[in-house]
DNA sequence: CGAGGGTTAGTTGTCGACAAGTATACAACT
DNA sequence: AGTTGTATACTTGTCGACAACTAACCCTCG
């Protein structure tokens, strides 16, 4: 029986990759675990073709390593998370500098709207929606500069970032719920930096934001 | 007949990707061209499986776009090249700053050795080897910081960079052969910056180097 | 001549099978 | 016992086939 499901826009491979990604990032799959295509195919009741796609996606994201026989889970240790934040810092600093030179008012409006929604979700304790908005904020910022190459870099890591944000936010909300205010504050600061063209404060604001993100996840895990 | 060729370490998919990549970067395949898996499979006398792999690789590199029916060649226009150089500048600036804080003497030795080899190739007019060494220089620099995430970013664009360098170098050598001296000079400057920890000159040296690369290719095409 | 509907060739996603290579367990031998 | 060789089970890379879907063409009708 061939199963073709066009009702869902994502191919089976991407769906499988999504499930496995969350497993790896959430440490449900521990680093070092060996996985084979057959084994995954059996679990998801598909053939090996979509599984191969999925493994290739995860390999590109750096979550697993494809070896001659079987793939091995790499996962994200503390160093990896730091590095992820460093690269995000690098890219978003670039983006903000570029936006300062030249931005469309629409973009700022979109960003403010996202923050406002985050505020509401924060008050309701809806961490899931909050984390998606957080992700969307940064993605909107990056897509805003319309830089093809940066776009590709972002696409190759965005799914990982999204997963990390989701998990971080969840843990944060389990602790002191009011912490979300800090995230919102730094986001507003980022917009201010763009609008006021305050070059001197870019590094300070962004470093603070990413440092906080990294530290909080490090403490929580 | 199943053809499995383990004598070459690269899978058929990667090999096909290599051929197509060069075609696209060298503008033998013009942007907008539609390509189908069957067509490529027929050309390379393989099944669609390796071709699918190849197309996915090229898609990740941003050279083609996968659509519902058929992929379309994107190629690298003048803007794309500028953006590529911008991202390289971003990454290598990061790398050099990190190396300044902490580098192993071995690395510097390797880099110097590469430059010396480039010098010899330059004198012999061996542009092919020269371009590979040029690429190797930058790759060695980036791998030197042992930063997993940066590594992945680099891997996702390195093949494209390599192709661009190859073509640029070829055209350069067709013009005034002596131009290679300038490339070598800036490379030596980069090493000096690392060794002398001369923070102030990083941006200047790198900007000069990448600006030159971008300008020269723009003029030549 | 133009518009609409059906046919048809072509496209991708998925499947199961096979070939080639690899690691492991187990037996035979020194 | 330790080493070597072989059988065997498991792995990936590739193949050809099929189902779902899309686009283009042609034919009919107004």
Element (H, E) at A34: strand A34-35
Query: Do A139 and A187 lie in a common domain?
Result: yes
- Token duo for residue A77: 């240790």
The β-bridge relationship of strands B71-73 and A34-35 is unpaired
For chain B, strand residue ranges (E) read 34-35, 64-66, 71-73
- Neighbour-count burial for B153-185, b at 16+ CB within 10 Å, e otherwise: bbbbbbbbbbbbbbbbbeebbeeeeeebeebbe
Distance, CA of B119 to CA of A6 (rounded, Å): 57
Q: What CATH number did the domain enclosing B213 receive? A: 1.20.120.530
Residue A64 lies in a domain: yes
Clarify whether residues A58 and A138 are in a common domain: no
Residue B157: inside a domain: yes
Compute how many other C-beta atoms are within 10 angstroms of the C-beta atom of residue A29: 18
Asked if strand C contacts A7 at the CB level, meaning under 7 A, the answer is: no
CA of B70 to C1' of C11 (A): 7
User: Which residues is A72 bridged to in the sheet?
Assistant: A34, A65
The C-alpha atoms of residue B75 and residue B71 are separated, in whole angstroms, by 12
User: Is the separation of the CB atoms in A180 and A173 below 8 Å?
Assistant: yes
- Which bases along strand D come within 7 Å of a protein CB atom? 10-23
Residue A5 lies in a domain: no
* Alpha-carbon span A192 to B2, nearest angstrom: 61
- Is residue B93 a contact partner of residue B150, using CB atoms and an 8 Å limit? no
Q: Do A93 and A59 belong to one domain? A: no
Helix (H) or strand (E) holding B151: helix B148-174
Q: How far apart are the first and last CA of chain A?
A: 44
B6 touches strand C (CB under 7 A): yes
pLDDT of residue A212: 72
B65 plus B113 within the same structural domain: no
Question: CB contact, 8 Å: A44 with chain B?
Answer: no
DSSP B210: H
Q: HSE of B139 in the Cβ direction (CA atoms, 13 Å)?
A: 17
How many angstroms separate the Cα of B40 from the Cα of each of A128, B55, B72, B131, B141?
43, 10, 13, 29, 36
CB contact under 8 A, B149 and A62: yes
CA dihedral B184, B189, B192, B197 (to 10 degrees): -150
Domain boundary among B55, B73, B91: B73
In this structure, the answer to whether residues A62 and A115 fall within a common structural domain is no
A109 and A24 co-located in one domain:
no
Q: In angstroms, what CA-CA distances link B123 with A187, B126, B162, B184?
A: 54, 8, 21, 12
Interchain pair B87, A60: CB under 8 A: no
What's residue B8's pLDDT?
57
User: Which residues 19-48 of chain A have a CB under 7 Å from nucleic chain D?
Assistant: 36-39, 48
Reported as type and span, the H/E element at residue A91 is helix A78-101
| B83 interface with A at CB cutoff 8 Å | yes
Domain count, chain B: 2
CB contact under 8 A, B62 and A157: no
pLDDT of residue A177: 67
Same domain, B166 and B88: yes
* A122 assigned to some structural domain: yes
How high is the pLDDT of residue A219?
A: 67
- Measure in Å the smallest separation between the Cα of A122 and chain B Cα atoms: 31
Asked if A65 reaches chain B (Cβ–Cβ under 8 Å), the answer is no
CA distance A154 to B157: 12
Strand partners, B71: B35, B66
Residue B4 domain flag: no
DSSP A203: H
Which of B54, B73, B92 is the C-terminal boundary of a domain?
B73
- If asked whether residues B39 and B111 sit together in one domain, one would say no
A65 interaction partners in chain B (CB closer than 8 Å):
none
Q: Are residues A120 and A18 in the same domain?
A: no
A2 lies in a domain?
Answer: no
Flag residues 126-165 of B with CB < 7 Å from strand C. none
Whether the beta carbon of B50 falls within 7 A of nucleic chain D: the reply is yes
Query: Digits of tens for pLDDT over chain A (221 positions)?
Result: 334 444 457 889 999 999 999 999 999 999 999 999 999 999 999 999 999 999 999 999 999 999 988 899 999 998 999 999 999 999 999 999 999 988 899 999 999 999 999 999 998 889 899 999 999 999 999 999 999 999 999 999 999 999 999 988 888 888 766 778 888 998 998 898 888 887 777 777 777 777 776 777 666 66
CA distance B125 to B55: 34
The rounded distance, in Å, linking the Cα atoms of B219 and A91 is 28
Q: Which domain holds residue A145?
A: 78-220
Q: Is residue A156 in some structural domain? A: yes
B34 and B136 housed in the same domain: no
- Same domain membership, residue B165 and residue B68: no
Residue B220: the pLDDT is 60
**A61 vs B149: CB contact, 8 Å cut-off?**
no
> Which chain B residue's Cα is nearest to A151?
B62
Which residue's alpha carbon is at the shortest distance from the C1' of C13?
Answer: A4
Residue B5: inside a domain:
no
- Note whether A94 contacts B: Cβ–Cβ < 8 A: yes
- Give me the CATH number covering residue A45: 1.10.10.10
Residue the block writes with tokens 């990448």? B210
**Residue A99 in tokens:** 């936006």
Q: What is the pLDDT of residue A156?
A: 93
Residue A148 touches chain B, beta carbons under 8 Å: yes
- B10-48 pLDDT, tens digit per residue, is 889 999 999 999 999 999 999 999 999 999 999 999 999
Low-confidence ranges of chain B (pLDDT < 70): 1-8, 177, 213, 217-221
Q: Cβ of residue A16 near strand C, that is under 7 Å? A: no
CA A140 – CA A95 distance, rounded (Å) = 10
Nearest CA to CA, how far is A72 from chain B (Å)?
A: 16
Q: E strands along A62-220, which residues?
A: 64-66, 71-73
- Three-class secondary structure of residue A87 per DSSP: helix
Size of interface A-B (CB pairs under 8 A): 60
User: Radius of gyration (Cα) for chain A, nearest Å?
Assistant: 19
What's the rounded Cα separation, in Å, for the pair B14 and B16?
Answer: 5
| Domain's final residue, options B73, B89, B107 | B73
Clarify whether residues B87 and B179 are in a common domain. Answer: yes
């Amino acid at each position: 029986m061939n199963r073709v499901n066009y009702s869902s826009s994502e191919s089976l491979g991407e769906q499988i990759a999504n499930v496995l990604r969350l497993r790896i990032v959430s440490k449900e799959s521990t680093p070092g675990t060996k996985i084979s295509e057959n084994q995954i195919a059996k679990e998801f009741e598909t053939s090996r073709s979509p599984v191969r796609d999925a493994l290739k996606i995860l390999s590109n994201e750096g979550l697993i390593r494809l070896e001659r026989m079987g793939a091995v889970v790499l996962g994200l240790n503390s160093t990896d998370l730091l590095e992820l934040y460093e690269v995000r810092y690098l890219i978003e600093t670039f983006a903000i500098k570029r936006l300062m030179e030249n931005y469309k008012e629409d973009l700022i409006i979109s960003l403010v709207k996202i923050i406002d929604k985050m505020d509401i979700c924060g008050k309701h304790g809806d961490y899931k929606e909050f984390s998606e908005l957080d992700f969307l904020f940064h993605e909107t910022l990056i897509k805003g500069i319309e830089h093809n190459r940066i776009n590709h870099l972002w696409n190759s890591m965005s799914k990982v970032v999204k997963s990390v944000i989701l998990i971080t936010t969840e843990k944060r909300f389990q602790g002191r719920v009011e912490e979300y205010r800090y995230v919102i504050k730094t986001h507003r600061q980022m917009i201010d930096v763009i609008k006021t063209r305050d070059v001197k404060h870019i590094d300070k604001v962004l470093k603070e934001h990413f440092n906080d993100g990294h530290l909080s996840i490090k403490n929580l895990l």
